[in-house]
Every structure is written in structure tokens, then in C-alpha cells.
Structure 1
Amino acid sequence: MKSKSFKQTFEGTQRPPLTTYPNSDLNHIEFAELIQNVESLSWIVSVHQEISQSNATAHLHSHSYYELICGLNNDVEYLVGADRYQQQKGDLIWIEPGISHKPILPKSLEESYHWDVLRFSPEFVEALIEIAPDWYKGEQQNYKLIRTAGTRWRFLPALLRSTAEEFEKKEFGWDLIVMGNALTILAHLRRAVIDETAKIQKVEKPELLDMALGYIEENLVGKITLSGIAQNFYVSESTISHLFQQKLGISFYRYVMQRRLNTAENLILKGKSMEWISEQVGFTDYSSFYRAFKKEYGMSPSQYRRLQGKPKVMDLKV
């Protein structure tokens, strides 16, 4: 079968949806104004630097596209799904579409935390797989963090940083450089995955927080209560409540609600019925789901689905 050209692959495709964030001014931006003067490459490959100064600015969220996140600080915990990782400077985190994630920052910060973030639309990845089928294999989804320090891939963070600078400055030929660097980074990332000497980091040793997060993931479709999870792990309700507030910067019930609605977002984009979605994320009826979704995102689930069908650029949240 003859492969499509790069141009043919993207002709007629929609730009990836913009992830909507709880209580964010981004929800109220006029998208026509946002899209104006934005080059077409911005929805295929996007790269920028993200800065967080507290857990309050680091929301749990997910996207409809792929992300590669490079940490520029040492000793930062990062939550990917229900898995918690210890991220060091230069570590690369790969995040699949629909996977919730957020940095877990110390309660008191002595410095800002920085990440370089490279994003790829699903269409870009599909085109890449057509050209190089061996690039994306099953094990690609089974790893999340690669440590580059002390390895042959220690140059990747610097390459990602220079790519971000090209994307920001947009000098002559920037689009070719960004696309070329993105392909180079992805090729080396694949080499790192299949290389037995690569420092692919494992999930942190399970603690009470990890077990609680896993419990929530396994029970999203059902009723989740503070008393129920406390009884399950033989601890007090105050222990669980304090743990979420201290580590994640939000309440236990707030986290549960964010996970339910993150999952709902992804199901909405897949075209599932709203009533079915509300059941799958643990709501007893659609009206309760409707109210919770509108309160969180400032629009109804149906409005969200229509909005996501419009062309727009990728958002700038880690």
C-alpha cells in the first residue's frame, strides 16, 4: 500500500482539540482571535516552556494529543495517571493522549519549576507511523520516564530547549528546524526505549498516596467516599484528607471530581452518549453530571463537544 505524502496526510484534517481547564480564563478566550496569526505548524507540533510556582497553578488534566515533558529542575514528583515518578533535571516524560497528569510541587517553593514541553498532534504521530512503522510499538506505551543524565541521550534536553527557542522566536526557517528537531528527538526517544542500557525509571515505591490514587482509578465508575477509602486502607479519614491536601494541594473530593471529569472529557471526544458517559464516571444521573461539568468548565457537555470540533491550536498547559 502506497503511503500518503506528509501534505496529503494533513490536508482536510482538523486541528487537535484545546483541552479546557477548570476555572481558567483560557475557557473564555475568543478562539477566532486566538487562531489568527498562528502558523499551521502550531497544531502539528508545538513546543514551549511551562513554569509553575505552586500546586495551585498545576491542575490535574489530560490532552487529546501526545506530550514529551523535559524537567529543568531536580527532585520534582510527577503524577502520570495513578503512577508517581521522581523527576530529575533532564528526565523525559512521555504522556499518551487521554492520560491525566500533573506535577506534585512542594508546599513551600524556594524557586519556580520549569519544564520544556513538546507536543504532537495525533495526525502527526499517525503520519510518522505510516512512514516508519517500527517507531511506535506496544512498549512505547509502557514507559513514562527516561533519565538522560549519564547516558548517550544526555543531549536531548538541550536539543529540546533550542527547539523551544526556535518556536518562540520564529526567525526565518524556524518551522523547518522545529519539525526536523522534533523528528530527531522522537527517533532517539525510540532508540532509548529499545536500548537495554537506557535508564528507564520505574514508578516510585508505593506509598499510601499511590494506593489511594490506584483505588480511585479502579472505582471511578462507582461511589467513592472518604470513609470508604479510609476503611479500605485501615487509616483515619483525616489521614487521607491531610495526605491529598499536603501532597496534591487539593482536597480528596476535589481530586476525585477532577479525575471523573478528565475521564468524561476523553469519552466526550470519542463521541459516546452523554448519558452513558455520566454512568461511566460515577454519576448517579445525567443531571448531576451536567451540573458538575458546567460548574467545572463553564459550559455544558454538549457545548464542550461542539467546541472541540472547531479548529483551534494546542493549549499551553503541562
Structure 2
Amino acid sequence: MVSSDFEVYYYSDKNFTTLKPHAHDYYECYLFIEGDVTMEIFNPEGTPSRYKMSPGDLMLVPPGIMHHALMNNPEANYRRFLFWISKSCCNRLMQESVDYMYLIQKAEAFHKYIYHMTPAQFHMIESKFLRLLEEVSSERYGSSAFIHLCLCDLILTINRIVYDEENMKSSSDELTLFQNIISYIEGNIEESLTLDDIAGKFFISKYYVAHLFKDTLGVSLHQYIIKKRLDECRNAITGGASITGTYEKFGFRDYSSFFKAFKKEYGMSPKEYQSLYSHNLIP
């Protein structure tokens, strides 16, 4: 990849020579238009899978994943869009929103690389590719800013299309996973519960966990855990437990952070809340 952030191309070939299996240090997004091609992709363990490509098929391959296109009929016209984006560029986009990461987390967590687009979906994505290609090659006023908008639009469009399709098909499985994560949090509320911890426990991408909570509850995983810990602290201190022992028990690092979070949630300090609502303390 020549650019440090991303590159986008349209290719049309005849007599294309099959390349050897190869991997990149960037993400490759590939939209198949025409040809007689089978894509061979190797999972992280090195086991190959083959996909006979149909017009409208979209492929996303993460860094380090071996893959190549097998030419079943080299004389057939071979047309496709290619989009390469660096890990650092993806990380910057993720700081803006985890919504950019849906396809990436599906590829990395579940080794899902190929999606089939309907004609309407294909034409929508094709238009985004063409607009980005046009802007990259132009020298118009504000081109740099508009390229970024086109880039984000292309990525979000692809992610939204796939997400909507996956959601319709797997909402039940996703709900079960979400409920299992909730149960795990409630059963381990006194333990370390970072995004990495939970993703590792359920063998899924942390981006997937973040997306799941934001979509289901409208809050981040961290915000949910804080609210649950504050609920436990509130119940404990109104039941007679000491404030100091309680905030330490439920994972707050220091009294200052506990105090701020508690007051923001309940509108008063822990001590004021305990005095007002305690039902077990002797006056």
C-alpha cells in the first residue's frame, strides 16, 4: 500500500494470472463485479476455504490472513473494486465510533470474510466506491475534507448493510449472548470487569461487545457496569454496611471516583443517601 491511510481502486482485467496466497499488513475490502473467480481464504490456523464469487459479493480480509483469487476462466473479464485501509487509520476511526468496526470484528472474531449483496445493496456500495474514487483523483476545493467524508460514508454504508442483514437473521442468538453477558456481570460484580475481560470470557471481539451494549441498552459496557456497582453500593450502605468497605468491595479504585459517580447517579453524597434512606442503622 502506497498511502499510509487508505487506497481505493477499480480494476478490469483479462487473462489475469492467479497469484500465490498472500497476506497484507492492512485490511482489504473487495467488491466483486464480474468474472469467473473462486476466492481461497485461509483461517488463522492455516485451513483454507473456497468461495465461488458471484456479482455483488463483498470480501473483507484482516491483516495477516492469507488469501488469493483462483482464475477458473482467465479469459473472462475480471472486474472488481478494491479498498485498502491501514490499522492505524481504523484505530482513529474507532475513536470516533465503534460503528465503523462491525465488519472488522466479524472477520477477526468469527472468521467471517464473505458477504453477498443484493442488486440494490451492490449498486449502493458501488456508488460510494465511485464517489470516493472520483474525489481522490480530483483537486477541488475542500477535497481532503470531502475524501474523509466519502471514506466514512463508504465504510458505514457497508457496515450498516451487513449489520441490518445479520440482525434480522441472528437477533435471537445475539439476545441470548447479551443475556449471558448480563448474567456474568451480575454474578461477578465484585471482580475486574473490563471490556477485554468480558470479550475473552465469551471468545468474542471487544468491539462486538461494545457494539452489542450500545445498540441494546444505549449505554457503553463501562457505563452499565458502573450503574450496577452503584446499585450494589446503594443497597449495601442503606442496609448498614460501611461506606469505605462497600466502595472497595464493588470495584471503585478510590473514594473520590466513587463519590463523584454516586452523586451524579443519585443527586447526593453516599453519606447523605445513607442517612436519609438507611433502614437498618440504629439512630
* TM-score normalised by length of structure 2: 0.49
Query: Relative to total residues, which structure has the larger helix share, 1 or 2?
Result: 2
* TM-score normalised by length of structure 1: 0.44
